[in-house]
Amino acid sequence: MIARQTRISRTRERLQHGRNPLSVALLLAFLTLACGTETLVTQIVSPDDKQSQVGLMAVFDLDKNVYQALENIQKGVVKGALSGLSKQGWKVQEIENGRVVTATLPLTPLDKLAPQGWTLNEQKMQTGRIVTATFDTNKLSTDGSNKDSLLKNLFLVVDEPITGTTHYTVVATIDMTPPKQEGKATPVSTNPYANYILGQLGATSDALKKDPKLQALDKAFKDAGPPKAIFGVDLPGPIAEATINGQPGGEIGGENNEQVRWRFSGDKPGVYKLQATGPKRLPLIFVPGIAGSVLQLDGVAINANLWPFAPLGSRTNLGLERDGMTPAIKGVKIIAPDIIRSAALGTTKIYSPLMQALKAQGYKEDTDLFILPYDWRLDNTQHVLRLAALVDEVLQKCKSTKVNILTHSMGGLIGRGYVNSAGKTKVDTLITMSMPFYGSPVAYYATVNGYSFGNATVRAELIKVLGQNWPAPYQLSPRKPFIIDAATNQALPLEESYRLRYKGFLGVEQNIILWDTYTPTPDNVWTFNPGLVQRANDFHALLVDRGTQQEKPLPTGVKHYAIIGHGVRSLSWYRMRDAQPGEAFLELGARKVVLEPQFLDGDGTVPLWGLDFKTATRKYYVTYLSQARSGEHTEVTQNPITHSIIKNILNRKPPEPNQYRPPEYVDLNTFLYFFEGIDFTLHSDAHLSIVDQATGFNLGFNDQGGIDEQILTGSFLSIDGVEYASLAHLPSSYQVQVKGTGPGKFTLNVDIKKNGSTTTFVYSEVPVKQGTLAQLVINPSQVTTAFPEMQVTTDGKTTVVRALLPRQITPSAPAVANPLPSPPSSPQGGAVPVASIATPVISQPETATRASDSGMLLALVLGGAAVLLVIGAMILALVFARGSRPQTGRPRMPRPTDLPERGTRAKSKPTDLPR
């Protein structure tokens, strides 16, 4: 605050002598308090990963009538009045010939403030440092006395911890006491401020009576009213507290409540101590992904758990009717009391590492950290409403005007849907991890083939049955064309992808000891649920404009930081070809077709084209560095690199995107880019597994009959007796094992993709039976034209099988022109834009096969005995280890109404539990 600018030591010219050479500096030394509004703002910023910076801005706005009265006495009297501040490093700008003057000290790093008049004192501690900076208010005066300054002191305390948010305390004392006339017993004017100034100029009451110009000046003083002063503080985040003389006071405002202003008037004289602290940490809400919340039966005291662990047979309670809302079992009510923090009796970490990282930053649950567990089977529109209710509750509890939201996977769609609707004015920052903005082909795979969410106690077949009527998986399926028709070499329109027909189940053979056996339908009689397809379109209208097909813009004032994992071979698209005689097939219209999975870069669950979107403030690509620092879909939430990014964002120091750049080889508008790796395809009466010899981690079937995906750069799929394993190309040796499951033959294809070309080796028509073990060791970095021999052992006898001569293929991807158009560009190859999935219209067969009543009755009877096997279920739960996705378990088949009829859609997307 520029207070009474100091007097100048010079001989005063008495007005009664008839001379009026008013000293500009002298006059304004007293006028600043008498006839204007003065402002001083202390500004503090905290640039990304840099030291705090401090600046001052002062504004003096002289009353117009007083200014005019001064001009009548002597033209140009005001101009240049504050030039003395220029000599002290202030940048001074005069407006209207000096009636309005601004003076600023530029933003300067904390450790370099001394030349501007600050005195610094630093206290170092193990946890960081505390710096006290005191401003010499004499710098506001020309003579250094500070006698006439409104600002009596100003100091700043900066608490810089090694980790966490820097906090600031700004303290100032403002003196609004009216000035006293010096050396005169008789007042010159009835106005105390005019009296003081006229007295300092040597004017007498007689002179005032005789001089019209002095009278006009005196009147202008009186009309101007009491002086006004404003002191302000701008912090790099929301103000936590503002006080006057220890009591709450001040006006908090700004876009994020990062500003406070105290206003004073001379009609309320006094000395005021002002203090502002902050920034206040905004409350944080975490929203997990699909399958990331505990599900329980409400009102049940014993054996209430349904997810991730459950008594045998109880998971049929998770079934829904075809409307995706009504419980398939009447009277069932399911609640989500918490997120899944760990699994397998605590041996496998899920979200607990992330929670621990947040708590290390000082967050405390139910104080400034809040969790939104939810029933992840249901329509995400409901979860958006639940998030809105929680935000309002948190704002009230924390007395805050905004929140930050942190999400994982499907939780990101919920968070962005809320931000784009009711939350646009209530959210400061949205952080998403592994958000499948444009969906994932893995969800589609799970619908048609089944999936277990990496849960050792769950049969993929049961989730396929139940998931037919779960709305959320539909909202995770691809929103861009992802199937290439080999017959036309063009992208299949998205709406056609949801008209596919596939096999369901007739029933289940219960077995107390072994895994249940599901009997498939002989024909392709199951389809996607058209009602839930349409509801998926409705939900995505929160994210993408229906008309233009463009991503909806991020609301003004909201920041969206996206953390995207990659470096994992991920199901990216399908090659659809006509089926050969004797080959298992799906049906699309009159065609019998086979979908061959193709793998490109992604996080193992979502390809990069599903993760990437345009309307983020900043995007950070986290690649695979090691098992502990992985970009895999769920492991990325446990990655210390991710934790560091989140910490910096929450501390309002978001990293520069160039520190986490996307891979240069990826073209998100096509499937044609080259991504090094190894693909294995097994056609057989056998199971495939790939073991990393350095770590022992497995990719493929394990000895218990489940599927492991412990090698976090790889993916594994099993489709109608054909098994696919894909690994990112790493310098490691792998043991490849093929284990016979029955009499027959197997053919193993190995494609090594490196240096821009693909080398293919084939072990063809190898005889196999139950117990046969075929194995070989391969190091992709060493393979050129020779390939290792395969050792095949059957009944104790070992034979050697050599691979067929390799062939090199370049390029490795189909020549499809831009199969992934970005809305609203014209879809190429018949592609349908994202938000235009039409409800499939499929003619019904004469008979829609459903599960037999006897099989369902058996399921319900055995389900009642399942309580006796809880201990056994918990033992099975121990298999649920990190990186494991066994497709085993012992849930019971649901009753007939749980099985979908023709036109229903399948299974949930496996996006959120570790693999």
pLDDT in tens, 350-385: 999 999 999 998 899 999 999 999 999 999 999 999
User: Residue 859 above 60 pLDDT?
Assistant: no
The DSSP symbol for 705 reads S
Cβ 779 vs Cβ 806: under 8 Å: no
CA–CA gap between residue 268 and residue 275 (Å, rounded): 19
The reported pLDDT for the residue numbered 781 is 74
CA–CA gap between residue 406 and residue 287 (Å, rounded): 6
431-466 tens-digit pLDDT: 999 999 999 999 999 889 988 777 777 788 888 999
Residues 438-455: b if buried by 16+ CB within 10 A, e if exposed = bbbbbbbbbbbbbbbbbb
Cβ 415 vs Cβ 429: under 8 Å: no
Q: How does residue 494 score in pLDDT terms, banded at 50, 70 and 90?
A: very high
Q: How does residue 48 score in pLDDT terms, banded at 50, 70 and 90?
A: low
**Range among 96-100, 781-785, 809-813, 878-882 rated most confident:** 96-100
Q: How does residue 163 score in pLDDT terms, banded at 50, 70 and 90?
A: low
CA–CA gap between residue 276 and residue 481 (Å, rounded): 54
CA–CA gap between residue 98 and residue 60 (Å, rounded): 9
Residues 6 or more apart whose CB falls under 8 angstroms from that of 832 comprise 481, 493, 494, 495, 838
**Range among 109-123, 160-174, 366-380 rated most confident:** 366-380
The reported pLDDT for the residue numbered 812 is 43
Would the CA dihedral through 305, 306, 309, 311 be positive or negative? positive
Q: What is the DSSP string of 879-905?
A: T--TTB------PPPPPGGGS--TT--
Q: Interior CA angle at 226 toward 222 and 231, to 5°? A: 150
| Residue 681 φ/ψ region, left for φ over 0, alpha for ψ in the -120 to 50 degree band, beta for the rest | beta
Q: How does residue 181 score in pLDDT terms, banded at 50, 70 and 90?
A: low
Q: Within 10 Å of residue 306's Cβ, how many Cβ atoms? A: 23
Q: Where are the alpha helices (DSSP H) in 748-901?
A: 853-864, 870-877
What is the pairing mode between strands 568-578 and 483-485? parallel
Residues 117-150: b if buried by 16+ CB within 10 A, e if exposed = bbeeeeeeeeebebbebbbbbbbbbbbeebebbb
User: Residue 579 above 80 pLDDT?
Assistant: yes
CA–CA gap between residue 296 and residue 336 (Å, rounded): 6
614-652 tens-digit pLDDT: 999 999 999 988 888 899 999 999 999 999 999 999 988
The reported pLDDT for the residue numbered 183 is 55
The reported pLDDT for the residue numbered 722 is 94
User: Residue 514 above 50 pLDDT?
Assistant: yes
Type of residue at 780? P
Reading the block at residue 520, the tokens are 């498939």
H-helix or E-strand spanning residue 619: strand 618-622
The reported pLDDT for the residue numbered 666 is 81
Cβ 197 vs Cβ 27: under 8 Å: yes
CA–CA gap between residue 516 and residue 821 (Å, rounded): 43
The DSSP symbol for 908 reads -
675 or 646, greater pLDDT: 646
The reported pLDDT for the residue numbered 816 is 43
688-713 tens-digit pLDDT: 999 999 889 999 998 888 888 889 89
User: Residue 876 above 80 pLDDT?
Assistant: no
CA–CA gap between residue 426 and residue 422 (Å, rounded): 8
Cβ 669 vs Cβ 661: under 8 Å: no
Q: Within 10 Å of residue 600's Cβ, how many Cβ atoms? A: 23
**Range among 512-516, 574-578, 756-760, 877-881 rated most confident:** 574-578
Please report, for residues 637, 675, 776, 789, the alpha-carbon distance to residue 736 in angstroms, rounded to integers and kept in the order given: 30, 21, 5, 11
Look at 195-204, 355-364, 522-531, 631-640 and tell me which has the smallest mean pLDDT: 195-204
Please report, for residues 303, 684, 780, 815, 915, the alpha-carbon distance to residue 790 in angstroms, rounded to integers and kept in the order given: 49, 16, 15, 34, 29
Q: How does residue 862 score in pLDDT terms, banded at 50, 70 and 90?
A: very low
Q: Within 10 Å of residue 872's Cβ, how many Cβ atoms? A: 16
347 or 868, greater pLDDT: 347
DSSP bridge pairs for 302: none
DSSP bridge pairs for 390: none
Type of residue at 797? K
User: Residue 190 above 90 pLDDT?
Assistant: no
What angle do helix axes 64-73 and 212-224 make, rounded to 10 degrees?
Answer: 170
Q: How does residue 426 score in pLDDT terms, banded at 50, 70 and 90?
A: very high
Print the SS3 string covering 294-359.
CEEECCCCCCCEEECCCCCCHHHHHCECCCCCCECCCCCCEECCCECCEECCCCEECCHHHHHHHH
User: Residue 31 above 60 pLDDT?
Assistant: no
The reported pLDDT for the residue numbered 893 is 32
756-801 tens-digit pLDDT: 888 888 999 999 999 999 999 998 777 766 788 999 999 999 999 9
The reported pLDDT for the residue numbered 727 is 93
Phi, psi of 72 (to 5 degrees): -70, -30
User: Residue 814 above 50 pLDDT?
Assistant: no
Q: What does pLDDT average to over the chain?
A: 80
Is the preceding peptide bond at 493 cis, omega within 30 degrees of 0? no
DSSP bridge pairs for 680: 725, 750
The full set of domain ranges for the chain reads: 15-278, 677-809
CA–CA gap between residue 223 and residue 66 (Å, rounded): 9
Cβ 834 vs Cβ 824: under 8 Å: no
Type of residue at 585? F
pLDDT, mean of residues 95-123: 90
Sole residue written with tokens 């008498």? 34
Q: Within 10 Å of residue 499's Cβ, how many Cβ atoms? A: 20
Look at 72-76, 116-120, 727-731, 790-794 and tell me which has the smallest mean pLDDT: 72-76
The DSSP symbol for 590 reads T
Cβ 456 vs Cβ 880: under 8 Å: yes
The reported pLDDT for the residue numbered 849 is 31
Cβ 303 vs Cβ 423: under 8 Å: no
